[in-house]
Amino acid sequence: MSEIFEFFFLEYKTYSTIDITLEIIAVIFGFSSVWFSKQNNILVFPTGMISTSIFVYLLLKWGLLGDMMINIYYFIMSVYGWYIWTRKNDQKSVTQISKMTLIENKIAGFIFIATLFFVYFVYNTSGKWVNWVAYVDTFTTAIFFVGMWLMAKRKIENWVFWIIGDIISIPLYFYKGFTFTSFQYLGFTFIAIFGYLAWKKNLNRNQLT
């Protein structure tokens, strides 16, 4: 049993108690945020903002610039999404669950490509473009940037991007030595799958009515 524990949590021997505690708190609020998103609940944004705020601090301290930028972006898009989701017309939400339009597909493509160049620039100028992790970080950052934008717009396709990014992040964070965060993304993957199914059911119901 001790060998298994060390395999998963050996890296934490070098971490301070406060950092481990903060990571656990961030993971809990991260789970809450994704769960509220699955439920199509506005609480997805305040819980997500708490989680991302903590992760920005930790990731900056750990020198993981790509991951830190993802969380800064999440925080900004959470503010934007909170506003979009609360807009109402005659007591009815203006922004309903829907599919991406042709224009939104083009914008998503632009966000993805622009993010790739931006993250590459940051990693390269900071001297951190040194191994394969930087390539994967850049790719997952672009995926998550698009996914967060689509979630703020309440587009059902956001779940597809979350699922892809989450699956890649599970082994990536474990390799980096952040086991709790790796487990978080494992949980995110399952929630995202059920989230897609729940939103699809909601979308079909709205189309029928």
Q: What angle do CA 41, 191, 180 make, to 5 degrees?
A: 110
The pTM of the full predicted model, rounded to 2 decimals, is: 0.79
CA–CA distance, 65 with 70 (Å, rounded to integer): 9
Cβ atoms 150, 158 nearer than 8 A: yes
Cβ atoms 185, 166 nearer than 8 A: yes
User: In total, how many domains does the chain have?
Assistant: 1
Tens digits of residue pLDDT in 124-160? 887 777 788 888 888 998 999 999 999 989 999 999 9
CA–CA distance, 84 with 96 (Å, rounded to integer): 10
Tens digits of residue pLDDT in 155-187? 999 999 999 999 999 998 888 777 888 888 999
Per-residue pLDDT band for 9 (boundaries 50, 70, 90) equals low
Residue 9 structural domain: 2-208
Tens digits of residue pLDDT in 58-113? 888 877 776 788 789 889 988 988 988 887 655 555 578 899 999 999 999 999 99
153 SS3 class:
coil
